[in-house]
Each structure stands twice: as C-alpha cells, then as structure tokens.
Chain A
Amino acid sequence: GIQVEQSPPDLILQEGANSTLRCNFSDSVNNLQWFHQNPWGQLINLFYIPSGTKQNGRLSATTVATERYSLLYISSSQTTDSGVYFCAVEDSGTYKYIFGTGTRLKVLA
C-alpha cells in the first residue's frame, strides 16, 4: 500500500520563527490533507491540497503531486501552534486516508 513519510519527526522552535514540514508519499495520489492535532488530542483539518498552493493566515501549503511531496509552511510561529502535524493521503478511490507518522512541533515562548 501507499507509504506516507513526514519529516522532521520533531521540531522545537522559538516563538516567531518560521518552519517547513515535509510529507513524501510513495505513489500518485488524488487527494491530500494536512491536519493539526493539539496537545489535548483534537484533530483539526488545515488544508485540502491535492496539488498547487493554498494559504490561510500564517499557514500555507504546497503539493507537487508529480514529485510526490507536500510542504506545510508555518510563519511567525506561536505557542498555540504546538502539537502534531499530520499529512494524510487518500488510498486511491477507497475513501480511506493514510496518515503519516506526524511532525511533533513545540513552540517555546
């Protein structure tokens, strides 16, 4: 089945810093989403981004489907950005999303 790898596994930032999180996937995909899981376990959808670039405030994402990767950019990080960031890709045509192992981000005040 499709493999989803995320890097880095862990990231510690000072408040105000910028960061780039990467998601690589082993096969072509039609659908990709980014999620944030806060320290209490709540999972929030950030972007649906099968290709191209999207921006939402301090967050933006880019997917290059032909090269099988997606990037999530966080600018001017805040302590509330802490948590785990997951990308998830659809196992083609199955409605089943395969999640990566995540990037655990800690933003220090």
Chain B
Amino acid sequence: ETGVTQSPTHLIKTRGQQVTLRCSSQSGHNTVSWYQQALGQGPQFIFQYYREEENGRGNFPPRFSGLQFPNYSSELNVNALELDDSALYLCASSLAPLAEETQYFGPGTRLLVL
C-alpha cells in the first residue's frame, strides 16, 4: 500500500509568480485536505476535496485554489505569490470526509517565496 506522496519536496519562487503543488492520496482514499504550516505554527486548513468537489474551505483568499482528479489525486494552486505564502504545505488523505476518519499526511512541500 502506497502512502501519501507530494511533489515537489522543495520549491523556490518569486513574488507574483504562480505555483502548483501535487498530492497523491493513499490507495482507497477519496478525500484530500490541504494545510499551510508557517514556521513555528500549527497547520492551518486551506480546503478539502471529496470526490472531485470542494467540501470545505478555511480562511484563505481565492488565489488559493485546488483540484481533485478522478483517481483522487489533488493539486493546490497559488496565484500571485506573496512573501507570507512561504510555508510547508501538507496534504492529507482519508477514507471519507468525516471528522473521525484518520488523516494520513504526506511529507509536505516546502515553498519559499523571495
């Protein structure tokens, strides 16, 4: 059984650019959640996708957008990057969009915006 994978592992961008981060969910999982973790902070919920539809969103502006594909893998897109977008981006997959379901996290993508 393959765990949750994310790509790339590290990324450097400049302010104003756009970035796409990718996540492959664990086999059999149809729900993917994305989190942003700034240095020294806890993860903050960005949004969740369930069966290719957005299923909940945190307090992030519209320039943060996502997709989920028929194989349940997911992308996080961030437009017009700002310096404060520098963070570790985590995705987590689960069997269902239920709060009691265990979330399995990927290793994260470290984004640095200069």
Contacts and interface: CB of A to CB of B under 8 A. Distances in A.
Contacts of B27: none
A56 interface: no
A96 B90 contact: no
Given A41-B88, A42-B107, A43-B90, A101 B102 contact: no
B108 interface: yes
A31 to B, nearest CB: 4
Q: Give the interface residue-count category, chain A.
A: 20 to 34
B7 to A, nearest CB: 15
Contacts of B102: 45, 48
Interface string A68-103: 000000000000000000101010001111111110
B99 A90 contact: yes
B8 interface: no
A50 B101 CA distance: 12
Contacts of A88: 42-43
Contacts of A97: 45, 99, 103
Interface in A6-42: 30-31, 33, 40-42
B58 interface: yes
A84 B98 CA distance: 25
B89 to A, nearest CB: 11
In order of increasing CB-CB distance, the 5 nearest A-B pairs are A99-B42, A31-B99, A43-B105, A90-B99, A95-B56
Interface of B: 33, 41-45, 48, 55-56, 58, 88, 90, 92, 97-100, 102-105, 107-108, 110
Interface of A: 4, 30-31, 33, 40-45, 48, 50, 86, 88, 90, 94-102
